[in-house]
Chain A
Amino acid sequence: MAVTKKKAAAKKSNTIKLKFDTSWSYDPAPESKSAATISKQYDLFINGEWTKPQSGKYFATINPANEEKLSEVAEANEADVNKAVASARNAYEKVWKKMPAKERAKYIFRIARMVQEKARELAIIESLDGGKPIRESRDFDVPTAANHFFYYAGWADKLEYAFPNRRTEPLGVAGQIIPWNFPLLMAAWKIAPAIATGNTVVLKPAETTPLTALKLAEIIQEADLPPGVVNIITGAGATGAAIVNHPDVNKIAFTGSTDVGKIIQRAIAGTNKKVTLELGGKAANIIFEDAPIDQAVEGVINGIFFNQGHVCCAGSRLYVQESVAKEVIRKLKDRLESLIVGDPLDKNTDIGAINSKQQLETIHKYIKIGRQEGAEMYESNCKLPGKGFFCRPTLFTNVAQSNRIAQEEIFGPVLAILTFRTDDEVIEKANNSPYGLSAGVWTDKGSKIFNMTKRMRAGVVWANTFNKFDPTSPFGGYKESGFGREGGLHGLLPYLNLVG
């Protein structure tokens, strides 16, 4: 007995403790800002033209990595929203609704190609304005945005095949409000299916990240899309409210927080507006003892630290089976140390800047709450840049199911780790959330995967992977994570009426 124990101990000590206190470091490898052109000031894109705001007001958009002003953009008021909606209505009735579907498709294919052609510039601006690492904007945001246009362009003249025994009709004018975490990609997610199905659009990007949407407006103008089919107007919450409440809007598509989603649901009561809401999440990522641990650790890191954790489907709750919890936590801590936090434009950066000061404060608030509630905090020892909004990748162990950091969406690089023993227990815990956007499960056993994915109440379930997206794959939530799907065949329905 004693001998086996000794052997086991010897085996354990073979695992080398990683050392990070080395003098080696990466040289800076920044992408060049000169490949991007940002105007000093942007007006509103209404009826195919750049239009001065009737409000007369402009507001600054800054680079969250150094707090320097990048540009200033117009603040649309109610009169501007009226103008944009009127132009979308006019384009819908006079041009877009009547145009043969295959001709609509050609415009959208053209936009897709032009997004590809300007990929480098768009990626740089995305990282400058939003703080996300250039590696992500270059390899994920921009190509996926282009792919969404490519995918939905092809649907335009094939809708009769999508819904058995039904004809389809567009809804009219779609008001679309998007968040700051994937500014260009969200714009593509919203615009591509809407115009492919024959609707016209008034889109409002988030106030902290308007620049790539405005660049997209330039592309749309250059692509000769008929004026008014896509209108892009900038502003804050009041502008969004004006779109939601506008009587001539037929459809609201919103991505953002659950609180605002509920306000929208109340606001459209008594109207015939259709709505899709893609809201918050608190995804459970579950590791079983038979999982390939190294891959799982990598998946968990990607799940929570992708885009600084500013992801509604982020795997922010980790459930580890007790028998492997120690090993997983140790490996996570090691991996945390090797993440590079810094200049978003540096090609080596893993974690860029937090999108805004306000968001950084929210994250700090939750870290404080986590500690007060008795969870143990661990953060990476990395150096943070002196200026800008940065946050160390952080994880909490000894978290209780009822802790606020395990219940509420933090929207930052903060992982809450909980443990479990049995399948039933972890399902119960994972589903114990008002949210239901996404979930992850890591195990080597196929039958267990399907048992888990079936019982998980979430719209997207990743098995032995996490945070994967594709234009062909429907995305959207259960419960308070919202309703309606974006992407894939199922992403068409929110923009159509089915007629017998």
Chain B
Amino acid sequence: MAEMLEGRKAQFIYELVQQDSTKAKAEKEVNLAIDRLIYYAGWCDKFQQLFSAVNPVASSHFNFSVPEPTGVVAIIAPQSDSLLGLVSVVAPVIAGGNTCVVLAAETKPLCAVTFAEVLNSSDLPGGVVNILTGKPSELASWFVDHMDVNATIYCENNSDTQKTMREKSATNLKRIFFYNNVNWYSEEGQSPYFIMDTQEIKTTWHPVENIAGAGGGY
């Protein structure tokens, strides 16, 4: 995906400039978006090792806990940074094995639409990332109301919307995350902890045989 994005770099810069960015700023945003995809691509097969555990239970059992994707995640992407913001919230969700429905920035949807072409030419399986354009004010409630959505991410600091979203998320106890004032250009804009937000921890137990009272050393 990062390669495909890089291949269309000029187009993304052009679109960002069309939507109120400067050339220098747009170039920086596209470069960071490319790097962010590479960053999360690397995490795909590593975060599990970091956040798993073999638990030393006192009984005669083998017991381990691993992260698993929560399922379908509905994302309302940041309204500013229409490319970098979008990539920064989608990448950790799909790197963790979830699928998502993402609502692009309301007033700056161009990059999101072009990003869909990037996804398509990257051979990302159909349905993993679904991009919608529209108004968050109209669609937010559908994102949190839907009974087949497992988690919702909202990136604006609008406390009224946050309140409504949390209330409605109770219908099926969706996991809900508000990324308030995250600076997507800085280091705080990327970390495996974003991946862990949409993971569940599953713990598995199995007995360990005790042969004729022998200790664990046998």
Chain A interface (Cβ within 8 Å of chain B)?
147, 164-166, 258, 261-263, 265-266, 268-270, 277, 279, 434, 449, 453, 458-465, 468, 470, 472-476, 478-480, 482-483, 485, 488-490, 498, 500
The answer to whether B21 has its CB under 8 Å from any CB of chain A is no
Known: A265-B173, A434-B172. A473 touches B65 (CB 8 A): yes
* Min distance, Cβ A245 to any Cβ of chain B, angstroms: 14
Known: A258-B173, A265-B170, A470-B58. A478 touches B70 (CB 8 A): yes
Tell whether, in the assembled complex, residue A479 and residue B172 are in contact, meaning their CB atoms are under 8 Å apart: yes
* Min distance, Cβ B184 to any Cβ of chain A, angstroms: 15
* Min distance, Cβ B10 to any Cβ of chain A, angstroms: 34
Q: Kindly list chain B residues whose C-beta atoms are within 8 Å of the C-beta of A459.
A: 200-203
Tell whether, in the assembled complex, residue B200 and residue A262 are in contact, meaning their CB atoms are under 8 Å apart: no
Residue of B nearest to A164 (CB): B50
* Min distance, Cβ B88 to any Cβ of chain A, angstroms: 16
The answer to whether B56 has its CB under 8 Å from any CB of chain A is yes
Q: Out of B56, B70, B163, B193, which one reaches A269, CB within 8 Å?
A: B163
Q: Kindly list chain B residues whose C-beta atoms are within 8 Å of the C-beta of A453.
A: 202, 204
Q: How would you classify the secondary structure of chain B's contact residues: helix, strand, loop or mixed? A: mixed
Chain B interface (Cβ within 8 Å of chain A)?
50, 53, 55-59, 61, 63, 65, 70, 150, 159, 162-167, 169-173, 175, 187-188, 191, 193, 200-207
Tell whether, in the assembled complex, residue B203 and residue A270 are in contact, meaning their CB atoms are under 8 Å apart: no
Tell whether, in the assembled complex, residue A490 and residue B159 are in contact, meaning their CB atoms are under 8 Å apart: no
* Min distance, Cβ A241 to any Cβ of chain B, angstroms: 15
Q: Kindly list chain A residues whose C-beta atoms are within 8 Å of the C-beta of B187.
A: 500
Q: Out of B63, B150, B166, B206, which one reaches A464, CB within 8 Å?
A: B206
Q: Kindly list chain B residues whose C-beta atoms are within 8 Å of the C-beta of A474.
A: 53, 55, 65, 201, 203
Q: Out of B65, B150, B171, B173, which one reaches A277, CB within 8 Å?
A: B173
Q: Out of B164, B201, B204, B205, which one reaches A476, CB within 8 Å?
A: B201
Residue of A nearest to B192 (CB): A164
Known: A478-B70, A488-B53. A261 touches B203 (CB 8 A): no
Q: Kindly list chain B residues whose C-beta atoms are within 8 Å of the C-beta of A461.
A: 202-205
Question: How far apart are the CA atoms of A489 and B196 in the complex, in Å?
Answer: 14
Question: How far apart are the CA atoms of A277 and B170 in the complex, in Å?
Answer: 11
User: What are 8 A-B contacts defined by CB distance under 8 Å?
Assistant: A165-B191, A269-B167, A463-B205, A465-B206, A470-B61, A472-B56, A473-B57, A488-B53
Tell whether, in the assembled complex, residue B65 and residue A488 are in contact, meaning their CB atoms are under 8 Å apart: yes
* Min distance, Cβ B166 to any Cβ of chain A, angstroms: 4
The list of the 6 closest CB pairs from A to B, nearest first, reads: A270-B163, A269-B166, A470-B57, A265-B170, A262-B170, A472-B55
Residue of A nearest to B57 (CB): A470
Question: How far apart are the CA atoms of A154 and B175 in the complex, in Å?
Answer: 30
Residue of A nearest to B191 (CB): A165
Residue of A nearest to B62 (CB): A463
Question: How far apart are the CA atoms of A468 and B203 in the complex, in Å?
Answer: 11
Known: A458-B202, A479-B150. A262 touches B173 (CB 8 A): yes
Tell whether, in the assembled complex, residue A473 and residue B205 are in contact, meaning their CB atoms are under 8 Å apart: yes
Tell whether, in the assembled complex, residue B172 and residue A480 are in contact, meaning their CB atoms are under 8 Å apart: yes
Residue of A nearest to B71 (CB): A457
* Min distance, Cβ B21 to any Cβ of chain A, angstroms: 27
Of B59, B63, B159, B188, which is in contact with the most chain A CB atoms at under 10 Å from its CB?
Answer: B63
Question: How far apart are the CA atoms of A332 and B204 in the complex, in Å?
Answer: 25
Q: Kindly list chain B residues whose C-beta atoms are within 8 Å of the C-beta of A464.
A: 206-207
Known: A449-B206, A478-B70. A265 touches B65 (CB 8 A): no
Q: Out of A166, A269, A490, A500, which one reaches B65, CB within 8 Å?
A: A490
Residue of A nearest to B147 (CB): A434
* Min distance, Cβ A153 to any Cβ of chain B, angstroms: 15
Residue of A nearest to B172 (CB): A480
Residue of A nearest to B65 (CB): A474
Known: A465-B206, A468-B61, A490-B53. A268 touches B166 (CB 8 A): yes
* Min distance, Cβ A90 to any Cβ of chain B, angstroms: 29
Q: Kindly list chain B residues whose C-beta atoms are within 8 Å of the C-beta of A479.
A: 150, 172-173
Residue of B nearest to A163 (CB): B193
Question: How far apart are the CA atoms of A478 and B70 in the complex, in Å?
Answer: 8
Question: How far apart are the CA atoms of A165 and B57 in the complex, in Å?
Answer: 27
Tell whether, in the assembled complex, residue B206 and residue A265 are in contact, meaning their CB atoms are under 8 Å apart: no
Tell whether, in the assembled complex, residue A470 and residue B63 are in contact, meaning their CB atoms are under 8 Å apart: yes
Question: How far apart are the CA atoms of A36 and B171 in the complex, in Å?
Answer: 44
Q: Kindly list chain A residues whose C-beta atoms are within 8 Å of the C-beta of B159.
A: 270
Residue of A nearest to B206 (CB): A463
Question: How far apart are the CA atoms of A133 and B70 in the complex, in Å?
Answer: 37
Question: How far apart are the CA atoms of A472 and B58 in the complex, in Å?
Answer: 9
Tell whether, in the assembled complex, residue A478 and residue B55 are in contact, meaning their CB atoms are under 8 Å apart: no
Known: A453-B204, A463-B206, A465-B205. A265 touches B172 (CB 8 A): no
Q: Kindly list chain A residues whose C-beta atoms are within 8 Å of the C-beta of B202.
A: 453, 458-461, 478
Question: How far apart are the CA atoms of A114 and B107 in the complex, in Å?
Answer: 62
Tell whether, in the assembled complex, residue A463 and residue B204 are in contact, meaning their CB atoms are under 8 Å apart: yes
* Min distance, Cβ B151 to any Cβ of chain A, angstroms: 9
Question: How far apart are the CA atoms of A465 and B206 in the complex, in Å?
Answer: 7
Q: Out of B163, B173, B200, which one reaches A261, CB within 8 Å?
A: B173
Q: What 16 new A-B contacts, CB under 8 Å, besides A277-B173, A475-B203?
A: A262-B173, A265-B173, A269-B162, A269-B167, A434-B172, A459-B201, A460-B203, A460-B205, A462-B204, A463-B205, A470-B63, A473-B55, A473-B57, A473-B205, A489-B53, A490-B65
Question: How far apart are the CA atoms of A164 and B196 in the complex, in Å?
Answer: 13
Question: How far apart are the CA atoms of A472 and B57 in the complex, in Å?
Answer: 6
